[in-house]
Structure 1
Amino acid sequence: MQHAKELRPNSHILISEADHDRLTGLARALLDRAPETAEELLSEMDRAVVTNAAAMPAGVVRMGSTVMVRGESGDIQRIMLVYPGEADIAENRISVLTPMGTALIGASVGQAVCWNGRGGRELFVTVEAVDTPASGPQRA
Structure 2
Amino acid sequence: MTKRAPAKRPPIHMIDSEADTLTDLALARQDQSPALAELLLQEIDRAKIYTAAKIPADIVTMHSRVEFVDEGNGQSRTVELVYPVDADIAAGRISIMTPIGAGLIGMREGQSILWPDRDGQQRRLSIVKVTRSAIAG
Do the two structures share a fold, i.e. TM-score over 0.5? yes
Change (3 A) 1:10 1:124: closer
Partner of 1:113: 113
CA distance in 1, matches of 2:16, 2:92: 26
Report if aligned partners of 1:66, 1:131 keep a CA contact under 8 Å in 2: yes
Change (3 A) 1:119 1:36: closer
After the TM superposition, which residues 9-20 of structure 1 pair with which residues of structure 2 at under 5 Å, given as runs? 10=9, 12-20=11-19
Deviation larger for 49-58 or 112-121: 112-121
Change (3 A) 1:123 1:10: closer
- Structure 1 position 11, deviation (Å): 6.5
CA distance in 1, matches of 2:116, 2:75: 19
- Structure 1 position 40, deviation (Å): 1.1
Partner of 1:83: 83
CA distance in 2, matches of 1:11, 1:117: 18
Deviation larger for 8-17 or 58-67: 8-17
Identity %: 39
- Structure 1 position 32, deviation (Å): 2.4
- How many equivalent pairs are there? 130
- Structure 1 position 76, deviation (Å): 2.1
Partner of 1:125: helix, strand, or coil?
A: strand
- Residues 1:97 and 2:97 aligned together: yes
- Structure 1 position 118, deviation (Å): 4.4
- Residues 1:51 and 2:30 aligned together: no
Report if aligned partners of 2:79, 2:92 keep a CA contact under 8 Å in 1: yes
The code of the aligned residue for 2:69 comes to R
Report if aligned partners of 2:9, 2:113 keep a CA contact under 8 Å in 1: no
After the TM superposition, which residues 125-140 of structure 1 pair with which residues of structure 2 at under 5 Å, given as runs? 125-137=125-137
Report if aligned partners of 2:9, 2:114 keep a CA contact under 8 Å in 1: no
CA distance in 1, matches of 2:119, 2:109: 28
**Structure 2 residue runs without a partner (length 5+):** 1-6
Partner of 2:53: helix, strand, or coil?
A: helix
The Cα RMSD (Å) is 1.8
CA distance in 1, matches of 2:135, 2:122: 34
Deviation larger for 93-102 or 117-126: 117-126
Partner of 2:136: helix, strand, or coil?
A: coil
Query: What TM-score does the superposition give when structure 2 sets the normalisation length?
Result: 0.86
What per-residue deviation string (whole Å, max 9, x for no partner) do you get for residues 72-120 of structure 1? 2443211111111111111111111111111110000001122222443
